[in-house]
Amino acid sequence: VEFKTKMSVTVAVFVSVLLPVVSGQLDRALPAFGHDMRAEFMFAENYTCMNQGSYGSTPRYVIEFAEKVKREQELNPDLFIRAQVLGPSSLSPYYEYVNKARDIVANLIKTKSENVVLVDNASFGINAVLKSVTMFMKKKGLLYLDLAYGMVKTTMKFLTGQGGGADSSPNSPYKFPLHEVNVSHLTANLTDDDILKAVEKVLVEHANEIGLASFSHICSVPGVILPVKKLVALCHQHDVLVHIDGAHVPGQMAVDVEDIGADYYVGDLHKWFYVPRGCAFVYAAPNAQSMIYPNVADAGPGETPFVTSFEWQGTRDVSNFASIIAAAEFREKLGEDKIYAYIHDLAVQGGKLLAKEWGTEVLTDDTKFAALVNVRVPCQAPCMIKDLTLLQALYKETGIILPFGAWGPNKNHTMIRLSAQIYNDISDFQRVADAVKKLIH
């Protein structure tokens, strides 16, 4: 009894140190969107970031919060991490942080907390979906678009025994039929109907084979929005489970996972939601949770078997997950809808500026992208500047790094992807426009 009493006092004092970190501390005004907002980030003075979509960038306030959590862990690692020190129903600060963060993510994507778990990145989450769910499927075939992110394609090929460390011998368990649906060749102005018809054709031709389909919500390159709700409905009509790769969605545009209706949805939080790398979530619909397991088999004190299986993945630093709390506070201060509106409007205006300056066009109309705008460069693929790629040449000229890709029916067009963010303004796009014209001409 004496021991428990002393421990209770210790935990009470320990938690009281944590509470000010968890509660709102952002009690100052924030700058206006645009270059004034750069002061809230940690960029080098000579660096212009127009590639938020690749690796994200984190506000100082959120980084400072993460550092506080790191220090809190070191006060008493045992009490911070170990659950149920005081009894079977007690939770440690580690799990309090994780559960609070899960609540925030659930609210962001319009679902219940019990349907959401946190993982290190979208690659981890997508691998968990694809490698575990396929073991339960009666129909073992897999379907994806040629617009899928490279990691998704690699994982799919792993499941067919075509590489990635998979055993390619005749006895390999990884021999699932794989169907890539080619849509990027159709037209620069890719329509929903184009995509749906192409997918349905394959679903009908292989009706007894395909059991799981994977689609990007926002593709990586080019950064276009796909009609995921329609694709989910189409696949479900053919008795096919659906996973959505939403790596680029949280923080770039609003999302309602239950309205979309996918069985699984994975999204990064370090790309657009301002959380330190790496941090992501996995959503599983209630009726699909029994088929998914994490890459590391372990268990934590979760409220459901799904949450329990993901809650503890071995010892790790929880500060990135905890930082979801600070990122949400930072964004709330700015206004979530205001962020979406600013970055989309800037992407629209920036895309038009580049297309006009270069005499080219934006890849899609502005309803098909959020803050990732794709513009054709007046240089046929592969676009080389002397012995440098256009990416290398642009970086050497300006210090700006941007993804480029081949596009068009014959992959002979060069397309550039730019991210618009709250610390950018239209002058950043003008700088890119001028630099590319100088390099090419």
Query: Does pTM surpass 0.85?
Result: yes
Concatenated DSSP letters for 301-314?
A: S-SSHHHHHHH--S
The pair phi, psi for residue 193, each rounded to 5°, is -65, -40
**Tens digits of pLDDT across the chain (441 residues):** 444 444 444 455 555 444 444 545 788 899 999 999 999 999 999 899 999 999 999 999 999 999 999 999 999 888 888 866 666 566 788 889 999 999 999 999 999 999 999 999 999 999 999 999 998 999 989 999 999 999 999 888 888 876 655 445 555 566 788 999 988 776 556 789 999 999 999 999 999 999 999 999 999 988 999 999 999 999 999 999 999 999 999 999 999 999 999 999 999 999 999 999 989 999 999 999 999 999 888 877 878 999 999 988 888 899 999 999 999 999 999 999 999 999 999 999 999 999 999 999 998 899 999 999 999 999 887 888 888 888 898 999 899 999 888 777 677 888 999 999 999 999 999 999 999 999 888
The predicted structure's pLDDT at residue 5: 46
Hey, is 401 helix, strand or coil?
coil
Hey, is 404 helix, strand or coil?
strand
Concatenated DSSP letters for 177-230?
A: -EEEE--TTS-SS--HHHHHHHHHHHHHHTTTTEEEEEEESB-SSS--B--HHH
Is the sign of the CA dihedral 180, 152, 209, 202 positive or negative?
Answer: negative
**How many C-alpha atoms does 380 have within 13 Å on its Cβ side?**
3
Q: Tell me the percentage of the chain whose pLDDT exceeds 90.
A: 65
Cβ contact 224:374 at 8 Å: yes
Tens of pLDDT, residue by residue over 301-349, are 878 999 999 988 888 899 999 999 999 999 999 999 999 999 999 999 9
The predicted structure's pLDDT at residue 382: 81
Alpha carbon distance 121, 97 (integer Å): 18
Cβ contact 83:95 at 8 Å: yes
Interacting residues of 64 by C-beta distance below 8 A, sequence separation 6+: none
Alpha carbon distance 6, 261 (integer Å): 50
The predicted structure's pLDDT at residue 6: 45
Alpha carbon distance 228, 215 (integer Å): 7
